[in-house]
Amino acid sequence: MAQDAIRMDGKVAIVTGGAGGIGGATARLLTARGAKVVIADIAFARAIDLARELPGAHALEVDLEDPQSVENMVEETLAHFGRLDVLHNNAALLGPDVALADTDVESMDTAFWDRTFAINVRGTMIACRTALPHLRASKGNIVNTVTNLALQGHIVQAAYSSSKAAIIQMTRAIAASHGVHGVRCNAVAPGMTVTPSLLEAFPAGLREAVEAETLRDRLGAPEDIAEAVAFLASDAARNVTGEVLVCDGGSASHVPGLAPFRAFLAAGG
């Protein structure tokens, strides 16, 4: 078993936001490892395009802001594939307008805050609630995508980071309640990852500032995050639950100020 534990043959996974950058890479990797994957996204046309490329993939339209739509996503997956082994809650409210609207708490718009929590937190909760009986039957698991911004403070994205911190706690609560029934629940916390929506929302100067803090030679790619998700979703992670796997190229692992410190030394200071 250990040798093939990373394989996903016979498993059925839902990837929300599966038509996006990280979700798309994860759908590709899971199907390559043998899973049947539901690509669930509000961007249905893009979900259909990707599903056409991937053997064993199926596109579904979902709006995480709409509780009924989220419940339907799980039920339609069962109707289509007959089982559910992995729920990957990856979709989130993102984009250039969102990044501009989401600053600090003092200037926060209440409706924007509520929408962020409706999509990111309530949507994730309803997906988990609906999926849990089926995951209990399959001894399956949940992987939630959060962010390193949910673990450390920043001067941007107060609503987004708070919503993702709530998902971390939901991850632990589900792991604690359902581990006894054989259901695992983990989170992956990407650092800045180069996806089309990231390129749209963050100018090069800001991306370079974050890149300077990584311990690698580049920012993360969607495929890097997909590998972490696929590990947590697989039997290779059978003894891992209630955890947050930080996947940020080491950005959050070091003492603050590494980038200017490195620049100072490089300049002969």
Ligand X SMILES: NC(=O)c1ccc[n+]([C@@H]2O[C@H](COP(=O)([O-])OP(=O)(O)OC[C@H]3O[C@@H](n4cnc5c(N)ncnc54)[C@H](O)[C@@H]3O)[C@@H](O)[C@H]2O)c1
Name which position in 6, 48, 65, 223 contacts ligand X (CB under 6 A): 65
Name which position in 50, 54, 60, 62 contacts ligand X (CB under 6 A): 62
The C-alpha atoms of residue 258 and residue 264 are separated, in whole angstroms, by 10
SS3 178: helix
Q: 93 is written with which tokens?
A: 């409210």
Is 119 a binding residue for ligand X by CB under 6 A? The answer is yes
DSSP states of 75-104:
HHHHHHHS---EEEE-----SHHHHHH---
Locate tokens 């989401």: which residue?
102
Q: Are 243 and 231 in contact (CB under 8 A)?
A: no
Neighbours of 218 (CB within 10 A): 10
Q: Catalytic pick from 160, 168, 219, 232? A: 160
Least separation in angstroms between CB 245 and ligand X: 12
Q: 246 is written with which tokens?
A: 């930080």
List Cβ neighbours of 111 (8 Å cut-off, separation of 6 or more). none
The closest alpha carbon to 93, from 147, 174, 170, 169, belongs to 147
Compare residues 205 and 269 and give the one whose CB is closer to ligand X.
205
What are the beta bridge partners of residue 193?
220
Least separation in angstroms between CB 3 and ligand X: 30
Name which position in 12, 13, 20, 226 contacts ligand X (CB under 6 A): 20
Q: How many residues bind ligand X (CB under 6 A)?
A: 29
Least separation in angstroms between CB 97 and ligand X: 12
Is 21 a binding residue for ligand X by CB under 6 A? The answer is yes
Is 130 a binding residue for ligand X by CB under 6 A? The answer is no
Name which position in 163, 197, 241, 251 contacts ligand X (CB under 6 A): 197
- Check if 160 is active-site: yes
Q: 50 is written with which tokens?
A: 């990707």
Compare residues 8 and 93 and give the one whose CB is closer to ligand X.
93
Least separation in angstroms between CB 148 and ligand X: 7
Footprint on this chain of ligand X (rule: CB under 6 A): 16-17, 19-23, 41-43, 62-65, 90-94, 119, 145, 147, 190, 192-193, 195-198
Query: Mind telling me the catalytic residues?
Result: 160
